[in-house]
Amino acid sequence: MKIAEFEIEKGSSVFIVAELSANHGGDIEIAKASIRAAKRAGADAVKLQTYTADSMTLDVKTDDFKLKHGTSWDGYYLYDLYKAAFTPWSWHKELFDTAREVGLICFSSPFDKEAVELLEELNTPAYKIASFEITDIPLIELVASKGKPVIISTGIADLEDIQLALDACHRMGNKDIVLLKCTSQYPAPIEDANMVMVNDLSDRFEVASGLSDHTIGNTAPIAATCLGAQIIEKHFILDKSVGGPDASFSMDENEFSAMVKAVREAEKVLGSINYELSENQKIARSFSRSIYVTNDIKRGEKITTDNIRAIRPGYGLHPKYFKDIQGKSVKKDLLKGTALSLDHIE
């Protein structure tokens, strides 16, 4: 599977996404500067959210529509939150263009049919289904019908929800799917990250998997990388003084850059399955044990534990021969410190 020109497959480089979300303070110049900063920080892509307050909820001030679940947004009415946080649709082309100019892939999370139509006009290379939209099967079917990779966060999903979402994609003939482990808490406690799910999502559903992370710091992205994540998404903010609904769990340029560095180092640490010795490992074998003469042995004298030992360095006979050569005679005089070889033995 490819997102633009980026390969999403096991063993390839992790696709690192900077989620812009609401971190623009209502200023397009901050949004554009954030995209450029994400590029400097090492992101492969930037992701937007394409909605309006009216496409998300109703402008109703009753208790049902007031946030009160222990999030950083408690006290907001839903409509007011989305009105403050949305990225104006009129910005989208300019933001996509800015991303392309600096060499970043740009895509978005749509929340209704009109948002998908806008993103199609902008030639988005992929779609993201947000955690809370995983139950919106008509939206998933519409997105999947466009024939582009579909990235689905599973933050509020049980097994049935995930399967229904996958089935919706498959009905549209789309199997280019990535499931992201996500903890839908903002910020998410590290003890709730549950990174073992990265592997299970991939194995259980036979799709690519990754992480949409709301924890603080690098630990979860590093762990996800080591567990085979192919995509890591993290909220990005130009400057936390900008504020906004997502600022508390977003990374600034320096933090994001440190995360990218840690993820890339984790990729190098993982390496590949290979039992062939590298040149450095071959050199290091000189520090292994091998069989040496520890007391002078005269020609014709027998080898015993009194005159040979397996010691460092590793230039002598392999220790696997130690028992086999006991009691055998040597062909010539051997001085203490001689690296024993089979040529010395009759």
Output the pLDDT for position 278.
84
Give CA–CA dist 64/93, Å, rounded.
35
pLDDT recorded at residue 72:
66
Residue 71 domain-assigned (yes or no): no
Predicted pLDDT at 301 = 97
CATH at residue 236: 3.20.20.70
Contacts 24+ apart (CB under 8 A), 158-165: 161/134, 161/135, 162/134, 162/201, 162/205, 163/205, 164/135, 164/137, 165/129, 165/134, 165/137, 165/140
Final residue of a structural domain among 237, 252, 270: 270
Q: Where among 270, 294, 315 does a domain terminate?
A: 270
265 and 326 both lie in a single domain: no
| Residues 199, 100 within the same domain | yes
Most confidently modeled of 69-73, 184-188, 214-218? 214-218
Of 270, 298, 321, the last residue of a domain is: 270
- The verdict on 259 and 310 lying in the same domain is no
Mean pLDDT over 297-318 rounds to 96
> Is the domain of 19 the same as that of 107?
yes
* Region class of 140: left (phi > 0), else alpha (psi between -120 and 50), else beta: alpha
Whether the pLDDT of residue 70 is over 80: the answer is no
Q: Output the pLDDT for position 199.
A: 94
Do 100 and 160 have their domain in common? yes
Average pLDDT, stretch 115-140? 97
Residue 263 lies in a domain: yes
Checking if the pLDDT of 69 tops 70, the result is no
pLDDT over 80 at 71, yes or no: no
Q: Is the pLDDT of residue 219 over 80?
A: yes
Residue 59 counted as domain residue = no
Element (H, E) at 71: none
Residues 152 and 222 in one domain: yes
Predicted confidence band at 85 (pLDDT cuts at 50, 70, 90)? confident
Domain-located, residue 97: yes
Domain presence at residue 146? yes
Report the pLDDT value the prediction gives residue 322, as an integer from 0 to 100.
97
Domain that holds residue 317: 276-346
- What is the predicted pLDDT for the residue at 244? 74
Q: What CA–CA distance (Å, rounded) separates 101 from 99?
A: 5
9 and 101 inside one domain = yes
Residue 32 is encoded by which pair of tokens? 């554009």
* Res. 194: pLDDT tops 80: yes
Domain assignment present for 65: no
Instruction: Tell me the C-alpha distance between 322 and 317, whole Å.
Output: 8
Q: How many domains does the chain have?
A: 2
Check residue 81 and give its pLDDT.
85
Does the pLDDT of residue 172 top 80, yes or no?
Answer: yes
* Residues 157 and 302 reside in one and the same domain: no
Same-domain check for residues 237 and 301 = no
Q: How many CB atoms lie within 10 A of CB 30?
A: 18
Name the pLDDT band for 113 (thresholds 50, 70, 90). Answer: very high
Residues 210 and 281 in one domain: no
For residue 323, tell me if it sits in a domain. yes
| 222 and 308 inside one domain | no
- The answer to whether residue 81 sits within a structural domain is no
Q: 247 and 141 share a domain? A: yes
CATH assignment of the domain containing 341:
3.90.1210.10
Does 97 score more than 80 pLDDT?
A: yes
Q: Are 13 and 229 in contact (CB under 8 A)?
A: no
